[in-house]
Structure 1
Amino acid sequence: MAIDKSRLTESDIISKFILPAIKQAGWDDMTQIRQEVKLRDGKVVVRGQAAARKKVKSADIALYHKPGLPLAVVEAKANQHEIGKGMQQALDYARLLDVPFAFASNGDGFVFHDKTNPAALETEIRLEDFPTPAQLWQKFCEWKGYTEQQLPIITQDYYDDGSGKSPRYYQLQAINKSVEAISAGQDRVLLVMATGTGKTYTAFQIIWRLWKAKSKKRILFLADRNVLVDQTKTNDFQPFGSAMTKVTKRTVDPAYEIHLALYQALTGPEEHQKAYKQVDPDFFDLIVIDECHRGSAAEDSAWREILEYFNSATQIGLTATPKETDEVSNTDYFGEPVYTYSLKEGIEDGFLAPYKVVRVDLDVDLQGWRPTKGQTDKHGEAIDDRIYNQKDFDRTLVIDERTELVAQTITSYLKRTDPMAKTIVFCNDIDHAERMRRALVNLNPDQVAKNEKYVMKITGDDELGKAQLDNFINPKKPYPVIATTSELMTTGVDAKTCKLVVLDQSIQSMTKFKQIIGRGTRIDDRYNKLWFTILDFKKDTELFADERFDGIPEKVINTDPETVNNEDSDLDDLLNDPSSEEADITADEEPGKSERDHSDRTGTQADSDTSDFDEENKVRKFHVNGVTVKAIAERVQYYDTDGKLVTESFRDYTRKTLARQFSSLDEFIKKWQSAERKQAIIEELENEGILWDVLADEVGKDLDPFDLICHVVYDQPPLTRKERAENVKKRNYFTKYSDTAQTVLNSLLEKYADAGVQEIENKNVLKVAPFTAIGRPIEIVKKGFGKPADYEQAISELEAEIYRSA
């Protein structure tokens, strides 16, 4: 007997027609076929103190040459749909997996989208004509242009620890593109991946495959901070086991294959400190440079000499913030990135945390402060007579009351939200960090009494503070809660549960700004860290509006009007000339050359301590008190769907979101009225980021979702749930039911008035009071309505009466 496909669900179509056709073509169910492949996590939407994840769809079927090497995507639809209905979805998933083949099917056959065949891009094929693994692999290799020599490297297995962890789609692209480039002979590779997206794990998988394929036998992983090397060795690189060593005591041990090292352990200003010269220039086959935007970016850096000594090695640069200025260029050295994954993409995919910005403007910052004639500071020094503004405070002038107000604002925010939320306060220097620590301690005596490490200064000069860094970034350790710092925690600090980033430091460098924002962008569902707040006292968050924030900036060159106006000059050649003059890095973007060369042996960059003297301006830092300081404005902004910060209420967000879903009030009402379960629409809108509790707080707690939408989006006068319930009672429509049924429906109406339509549709509602006094659910349905279907019909009629006035 033939199966009536039109009555089958999408799942049935997959199991009865699509999968059998794929397996019949020779695809292995264990290693080559994956079902329900979730490529994204679902963007987090934040309003107020609430957050929700948007629900994301999974690719129905992904096909692989072998694990980690995707080839094709298959998207299915129920048979009542046209055969190619799922193609656009399939193409979206194919783009994420970077594969040229996409299939759509309704069970009758397949529409085959084949990017390797531009002459016939989409064709319809029968179920029994699905391509074999060998056919797609051959077409894929030809499309990629792989040579026979590349294939052993490209097909080398990933590391699999058996836990089920596999690279995310963007990590897969980064790994595969890097391995492809290196197997093709490219010796300089740049990977740009936003902070928190797993650069080190990605690097590990690249190294593992090249190492296991014996393409690269000796590997050096370079970093400029001890914490980066130790985290790497203990976590992502742990599978290398006894083949791996950390370079210590300035000794390169040739007995090991995988070497992890600080620049500082391999070189120094003196010749005897240049430990890298203990081995030949061709000793390493592969060098991976972590955070390559820092020390190794500058051509005159002492650290660049290591890369140039091992010039014959393949070199991979990892960075979240590629440096492209008129002084320093990553791309001059590494070339254009083989892959880029931005912060905006990470937030849209739900892998990175969005942010809420609370910008606080202080009167003294906006209006400036000027000393009275002959005024002296706390130390008796005559204060230079000029107007001091926002950039001066805590750099050349300290106002105690300003420090106190900033600390009070931080404390108030934490008390109002979560006093135990991990918080990093970025200060101008060590002196500022110490004063901020003291102010926060004095404002939180109750918390400090519970644990004196509630507030800690974690800076390069403080051994006790640095010793607490691991505890701060460990989600299982509650203390320290608040860390005051200046430079030490800007990078390399994997603080997954950091929920508050405080900016009281003037930041001029886009690179540094991106790094600091990156301290909060990690998501940790286990500890309910889905988003974070930026508390900004210095207008630093204006940098979000800079076009360089979420992309690779255009390269800037130094030139002159004569060159620009000369028709014979070739600016393109100048732009691409790697020998273009490059000057020192600005102080704001990087520690100075001498500071880099003499970094402490722990691998941490020393914080610049200007407590007595500001070297940059050659003036003393004045310290005053007795100044009245007030907060004159506070603005809350949210990360919007287009990646921009917007100042809006949740009411505004809901209006914009629903306008995309429904073109008119009539369309919304029709969908609501025709839905068998209103809860389905409520959940659908939750998946779009509508937070009902937050909306009810803004508009009215006693309105149900229907009236919230009608009022907020379409400006209709709302009815409360109680008003709707009273209207139903006035119509007296219950009289057609038996006494038992009327009692049940009246009780359900009361539950609606109290808690909303979800209560009526709750399957367990008949198991609680007051229904338990009538009997068991099955008895109630039989006695009052007859059959379960009649009970369901009565519920539908009750809902129709509730929303009848609409």
Structure 2
Amino acid sequence: MTSKKNLSERDICTQYIVPALKKAGWDIERQVREEVSFTDGRIYVRGTSSARGSRKRADFILYYKPNIPIAVIEAKDNSHNVGDGMQQALGYAATLDIPVAFSSNGDGFVEHDRTGSSGSVERTLHLDDFPSPEELWQRYKTYKGIDTPHQEQIASFDYFYDGSGRAPRYYQQIAINRSVEAIAKGQDRILLVMATGTGKTYTAFQIIHRLWKSGTKKRILFLADRNALIDQTKRGDFKHFKDRMTVIRKKKIDKAFEIYLALYQGLTNYDEDSDAYREFSPDFFDLIVVDECHRGSASADSAWREILDYFKSATHIGLTATPKETKTVSNIEYFGEPLYTYSLRQGIADGFLAPYKVLRVGLNIDLEGWRPEEGQLDADGNPVDDRLYNTKDFDRNLVIDERTRTIARKVTEFLKKTDPFDKTIVFCVDIEHATRMRQALANANPEEVLKNHKYVMKITGDDDDGKRELDNFINPEERYPVIAVTSKLMTTGVDAQTCKLIVLDSNINSPTEFKQIIGRGTRINEEFGKRYFTIMDFRNVTDLFADPDFDGDPVMVKQLLADDELTEADIHPEDEPVVDEETGDEIPFGDDKPEVTYDRPEIIDGGGIVAEPLPKIYVAGVDVSILNERVQYLGANGKLTTGSLKEFTRTGLLNEFRTLDDFLSRWNSAEKKKAVIDQLAEHDIILENLLDETKKELDLFDLICHIAWDRPALTRRERAEQVTKRDYFTRYGDNARQVLQALLEKYAKDGIENIEEMKVLTIDPFKAIGTPAEIVHLFGGKEAYQAAVRELETEIYRMA
């Protein structure tokens, strides 16, 4: 009989832990899940390609009901001590909001009780003494402060499940459970902060469904401020409400439904006598969910806030990726501290959101400023004011045609190098700027535009044709439009799953608006090859990434200040697009006069504009060129690399390998060199990025030695030629020699990691030699073939 010490970790789980759970009364089919992966694995960008890191996986998660995890178990084989898995288990428990963690090696359990209700923080248990489901449920209720049977009935009500296999991700589950539990305990204002692309609407649906089905909330209102958000919600996550749901349109009030979707603008006319929401009694709704609550309703004196005040007896839940916290406006003041925050950084680390790289492009006139020559005239023949103009002026007060064309050419050049059909959003200063940029991009891509004029589309609030193409742009199945040029309309609420390039040519000073824009690229769609995206920045907007509060916890900063202490920016924040009262669409600056902009647009209750229009100055004949370009990559710490990529990589390598001998030992002992490369990637050392920058076909081995220890570097072709000169292949028969020579050529072209997998034998030129089975047979079997490949690798690095 096999000794317990020789059993694998999986054997320990099957033979000891599962029987202990059964004996304690756990339903193995319904309450116990084994090897639960709860993240997708961070995506690492490798030059123009990408790879996923490993997922976080718990050995066991125990559930009281399918939607309520109450314990986690980390198993180790019997060569470990019984408590060796505890720190790992506690890390998972903290992430998953689970109160009790266990470690086991098959001899027993060590229990860590985060509730404090078991009398001690940690204790050792015999295999036969594992707690029952009811005992751990009692501890969960203590942990969550669930005191009464009524609270328990609400908090434990089931999720919606339609049999499709879709279930909430771990962070959605936490947000849903915390919200339902808080409402069960009587909390009536809730704020959930979840990064764009993490499924806020799906989370809201599950909260609503549980409360509605349990009878806790009978009539629910979902509020948004864009038609696109309402339509997207009705067709998407809320579709399961079917005929119990309606969309409120002005003058179409039907009180026979239970789930209502509405635009703020559809409920108010800014006239107390005709406001549509007053058709309902103040206590009509039990629950109101406010989508993108950082927008209109954030301000205490807005007409939109009056809707929430009118239905003040209802529970209000605010959803946002970017809570609004300024000296005069505060989401936290109204909703309270966030009940749960899931940040962009965490979403990227978990692999649920796409990472980004930044290409910063410096134009000469942007970096140095532009001053008109003496007596220079504008396009209308008027003299241009003699002063130094910079990016704050360009396209807002002063238009330089050559600047627009240079940016269009750079965007086109990038797409041609990657994929001309990568979905792209270009953010401009205003609608007039977007109009010119669309034309410049069309002229820069004549072949594509002649094939289909929708290759480039302006999608702004004033353009009905463009707005009609918005659904096609965000639909992965539709090829056109490819490039969407906008100003404010697409900053929020646009589910662009396959957007791979975001171009910033607008002066964005608001972290809120910037974060919303970045959110257009953070969705992942692996079916269509979308794993990461690029931000092309012409205006140093990505400096906002360096703001320590960019992806931190929201903090209320509103203060009760005297009027003379408030700045103009406090009173008239510029990060809110002006929207139409009827549709929620962006109002173009100057309405029907696109050639006119506003020096300072003001927002009054989400509606009208008060400002004196200033005409733009148009000049031509200016020398515009690109002075510098800089690529920045997102690190595992959530920060962009600073300094040169070479120095960043060198520092990372020297942290990983203390000496050259340390590196050589690990490289030579690795059964597959790809394992070393992948391990470096998980520590944020992406060698392919540096290869792209050096533009040389260096072997990754040589690149490491050269960057870290200044050793002379050979190209892959040079290493392959050295192997050929040594007559290494003469020991093999003709057919086996042909295979090895083909592998060497594959290495010279594509790198060492591309010859280590058996699947290489399924492509040319190997298909002409035989099937993989036939090729392996030439060497005397699979093990002999793999030994020959390892020997070939030894020859490749022999001179090292």
* TM-score in same-fold range (> 0.5): yes
Quick one: which of 633, 642, 661 aligns to 1:666? Answer: 661
Q: Which residue of 1 aligns with 2:604?
A: none
Tell me the equivalent position of 1:611. Answer: 595
Q: Is the 8 A contact 2:366 2:391 kept in 1?
A: yes
Is the 2:456–2:483 Cα contact (8 Å) retained in structure 1? yes
Residue 636 of structure 1 aligns with which residue?
Answer: 631
Q: Secondary structure at the match of 1:414?
A: helix
Structure 2 counterpart of 1:588: 574
SS in 2 for 1:35: strand
Contact kept, 8 Å, 2:761 with 2:771, in 1: the verdict is no
Which deviates further from its counterpart, 450-459 or 683-692? 683-692
Mapped partners of 2:94, 2:315: distance in 1: 28
The residue aligned with 1:568 is: none
RMSD over aligned CA atoms reads: 3.4
Deviates more, 1:320-329 or 1:267-276: 267-276
- The size of the alignment, in residue pairs, is 777
Distance (whole Å) between structure 1 residues aligned to residue 97 and residue 615 of structure 2: 57
Q: Which string of whole-angstrom CA distances, capped at 9 and with x for unpartnered residues, describes residues 768-797 of structure 1?
A: 589879995686556xxxx98788777767
Q: Separation in 1 of the partners of 2:459 and 2:304?
A: 26
| 410-419 or 669-678, which deviates more | 669-678
Alignment of 1:386-405 (within 5 A): 386-405=387-406
Residue 23 of structure 2: aligned partner: 24
Change (3 A) 1:19 1:442: same
Structure-2 separation of matches of 1:658 and 1:469: 45
Aligned to 2:53: 54
Please name the residue that 1:570 is paired with.
none
Q: Which residue of 2 aligns with 1:454?
A: 455
The answer as to 2:100 corresponding to 1:91 is no
Cα drift, residue 801 of structure 1: 6.5
**Maintained 8 Å contact 2:460/2:586:** no
CA distance in 1, matches of 2:476, 2:760: 39
- Which residues of structure 2 form unaligned runs of 5+? 601-611
Q: Check 1:416–1:191 CA distance in 2 against 1; reply closer, same or farther (3 A cut).
A: same
SS class of match (1:36) = strand
Match of 1:133 in 2: 133
Partner of 1:555: 556
CA deviation after TM superposition for structure 1 residue 751, in Å: 3.4
Q: Tell me which residue corresponds to 1:437.
A: 438
Give, in whole Å, the separation in 1 of the partners of 2:74 and 2:329. Answer: 46
Alpha-carbon spacing, 1:703–1:472, altered in 2? closer, same or farther (3 Å): closer
Residue identity opposite 1:112 in structure 2 = E
Look up the equivalent residue of 1:20 and give its one-letter code.
P
The answer on whether the counterparts of 1:294 and 1:590 sit within 8 Å (CA) in structure 2 is: yes
The TM-score, its normalising length taken from structure 2, stands at 0.89
Give per-residue Cα distances to partners, 1:511-556, cap 9 Å, x unaligned: 1111111111111111111111111122211111122211245433
8 Å contact from structure 1 (residues 327, 582) kept in 2:
no
- 1:309-320 → structure 2 map (5 Å cutoff): 309-320=310-321
* 1:57-103 Cα distance to aligned partner (Å, 9 max, x none): 32121111111100111122222233223222222211121012112
Distance 1:747 1:532, change over 3 A: closer
**Alignment check: 8 A CA contact 2:192 2:320 kept:** yes
Change (3 A) 1:664 1:624: same
SS of corresponding position for 1:156: coil
Q: CA deviation at 1:220?
A: 0.3
Alignment of 1:436-585 (within 5 A): 436-557=437-558, 585=571
CA contact (8 A) 1:747 1:770 kept: no
Match of 1:67 in 2: 66
Cα displacement (A) at 1:187: 0.5
Within 1, Cα distance between the matches of 2:773 and 2:627? 62
Report the TM-score, using the length of structure 1 for normalisation: 0.88
**Partner in structure 2 of residue 269 of structure 1:** 270
Counterpart code for 2:68: L
SS of the residue aligned with 1:303? helix
Q: What does 1:121-160 align with in structure 2 at a 5 Å threshold?
A: 121-147=121-147, 148-160=149-161
Structure 1, unmatched stretches of 5+, are: 565-579
Q: Which moved more, 1:658-667 or 1:169-178?
A: 658-667
Partner of 1:35: 34
How far has the Cα of 1:376 moved from its partner?
3.8
Picking from 598, 602, 606, the partner of 2:583 is 602
Q: Which amino acid aligns with 2:73?
A: V
Q: Distance in 1 between matches of 2:30 and 2:369?
A: 67
Counterpart of 1:237 in 2: which secondary structure? helix
Q: Distance in 2 between matches of 1:241 and 1:84?
A: 51
Secondary structure of 1:415's aligned partner: helix
540-549 or 662-671: bigger deviation: 662-671
C-alpha contact 2:736 2:779 (8 A) present in aligned 1: no
Q: For the structure 1 residues 17 and 670, does the alpha-carbon distance in structure 2 shift closer, same or farther, using more than 3 Å as the test?
A: farther
Residue 679 of structure 1: CA displacement? Answer: 4.8
Query: Residue type of the partner of 2:123?
Result: T
Alignment of 1:67-216 (within 5 A): 67-117=66-116, 120-147=120-147, 148-216=149-217
Indicate how the Cα distance of structure 1 residues 740 and 765 shifts in structure 2: closer, same or farther if over 3 A, else same: farther
> Structure 1 vs Structure 2: percent identity of aligned residues?
55
1:246 alignment counterpart: 247
Asked whether the 8 Å contact 1:326–1:582 carries over to 2, the reply is no
Go from structure 1 to structure 2 and tell me whether the alpha carbon gap of 1:764 and 1:206 turns closer, same or farther (over 3 Å shift).
closer
